[in-house]
Amino acid sequence: NAGVTQTPKFQVLKTGQSMTLQCAQDMNHNSMYWYRQDPGMGLRLIYYSASEGTTDKGEVPNGYNVSRLNKREFSLRLESAAPSQTSVYFCASSEAKYGRGPNTEAFFGQGTRLTVV
């Protein structure tokens, strides 16, 4: 099993360019997440999808859009990249169920290191 696969692993963009980060999981998980990691800030939630067909904003959604294409895939789009979006991006998935659970840990992709110049 591949788990969570993210592409690309590295990307350099010029300010104002757009791009889409792709994420796919093969664990049949309902929930998927996009986080960004910045030095000293831990992982901050950008957007999440609790189930196929639904998406919601997280802590830092500005400048991003997402699409839950199907149960497996959850993409993150930067419409007009800014230097402040230079970061490491992680996609994750988990079997989080509504109500009392059970709830599993989140499984993470390998990350995308994005630099906006």
Comparison of 17 and 88: residue with beta carbon closer to another protein: 88
Sheet holding 64-68, edge to edge: 4-7, 19-25, 74-78, 64-68
Tell the smallest beta-carbon distance from residue 36 to another protein (Å). Answer: 11
Instruction: Please report, as ranges, the residues that interact with another protein according to CB under 8 A.
Output: 31, 33, 35, 40-45, 48, 50, 58, 88, 90, 92, 94, 96-101, 103-108, 110-111
The pair of three-digit structure tokens given for residue 88, joined into one six-digit string: 């490491």
Q: Residues near 101 by Cβ (< 8 Å), separated by ≥ 6?
A: none
Tell the smallest beta-carbon distance from residue 93 to another protein (Å). Answer: 11
